[in-house]
Amino acid sequence: MSFPVDLIRKDFPILTRKMSGKPLIYLDNAATTQKPQIMIDTIVDFYSNYYANIHRSVYEFSQIATEQYETARTIIKEFINAETTEEIVFTRGATEGINLIANTYGKKFLKKGDEVLVTEMEHHSNIVPWQELAKEIGIILRYIPMNDNGELVLDNIDDLINEKTKIVSIVHVSNSLGTVLPIKMLFDKAKKVGAICVLDASQSIQHLNIDVQEIGCDFLVFSGHKIYGPTGIGVLYGKSNLLENIPPYQTGGDMIRSVSFERTIYADVPQKFEAGTQHIEGAIALGASIRYIHNIGLEKIFAYEHELLNYATNKMKEIPEVTIIGTAKNKASVISFMLEDIHPHDVGTILDKFGIAVRTGQHCTEPVMKHFNIPATTRASFAFYNTIDEINVFINGIKEVIETFK
């Protein structure tokens, strides 16, 4: 049975819009995904029918809101196969999640000379928090290099993961190259030296089945807007024993059990890490989006997106002026590319005139750009609502860009 993309597209109202007078072809899914009607309806339903604060009141609306908020936590727990719902913490996004880990676990358990290992293809969000920790307490930040295919160079991995390694924090899928990293192998090595494993799943949660218990990560982060949910909501998964033994990241309301002027007793996890009024509708809507994805099936989604990736890659290889940046054997549906001497911003601007939305720039991965000695790339990233016909328009758009600059 073929993938029902025509039916799925009907679930996304924005896909009927036009851009620059042309039918919208949205190929910026690695930056953020469009939203299904069920997610939009969920937010409208919350504001229209049971808007209230949570965890605080006994009246009916508040009880319903609290139940829906906690149901979303359960949906996410089951989606990533966490052991308990208490291991699911709502954050503002993956960036806040990594900052939380660095500023709580990092400051409590790491000391001068300890090593944190990342990769050369990390998003800035998984570099800068560790650099700040290095400034503050003197940890050493090391990275696994990559080759010109965009694959990790693992020749010296047993030297990089050593008795000084305390945290291995790595991206699952590169947002700028599409590379799928061998996380299970790296985490297995990390466990042998007693290191904590952190997974940035921002670019994989919407493509790949993730079982946190099977892959052996201690922490995992992702952003809701990458998996067809709202902005401003994200998830931090942490093993219960770790969350219980680190201090809160922020303090204030709803994360305390008792306050006096002499002392404060914090609430149990996960509430200990959810200070203030939460993004209630964001969490509930994220639960709806994840349930929507689950009902379609990530295996089917990935297989279809891989068809799109292979088709687009082969078509682009037929154009002599195109250089694809990142040609790993194991990739998700992302293609970064250069067009000879044409700057990526010019490429994106001209493609916009054809209704094609792509990303141009460094994609918050400046070390990747430095590795390839390029200023930026144009990036096309595909989702399960994209089509072969859209890719054909995209390929013709690339040819038009080339003709424009001849």
Tracing tokens 């995904």 back to the chain, one arrives at 33
What residues contact 346, with CB distance under 8 A and at least 6 apart?
A: 401, 405
* Alpha carbons 104 and 320: distance in angstroms, whole number: 50
Kindly state the tokens that stand for 342. Answer: 């044409």
Q: Which of 96, 91, 83 is nearest to 129 (CA)?
A: 96
* Alpha carbons 215 and 188: distance in angstroms, whole number: 8
Tracing tokens 């993961």 back to the chain, one arrives at 161
Q: Is 364 a catalytic residue?
A: yes
Q: Which of 335, 349, 324, 357 is nearest to 401 (CA)?
A: 349
Phi-psi region of 252 (alpha: psi -120 to 50; beta: other; left: phi over 0): left
Surface-to-core class of residue 164, CB atoms within 10 Å of its CB (0-12 exposed, 13-18 middle, 19+ buried) = middle
Give me the catalytic one of 242, 364, 393, 395. 364
Considering Cα of 212, then 215, then 218, then 221, what sign does the dihedral take? negative
| Whether 280 contacts 256, CB under 8 Å | no
| Whether 237 contacts 88, CB under 8 Å | yes
Tell me the sheet residues that pair with 273.
none
Considering Cα of 182, then 185, then 187, then 193, what sign does the dihedral take? negative
Per-residue burial over 231-240, b = 16 or more CB atoms within 10 Å of its CB, e = otherwise:
eebbbbbbbe
Active site residues: 364
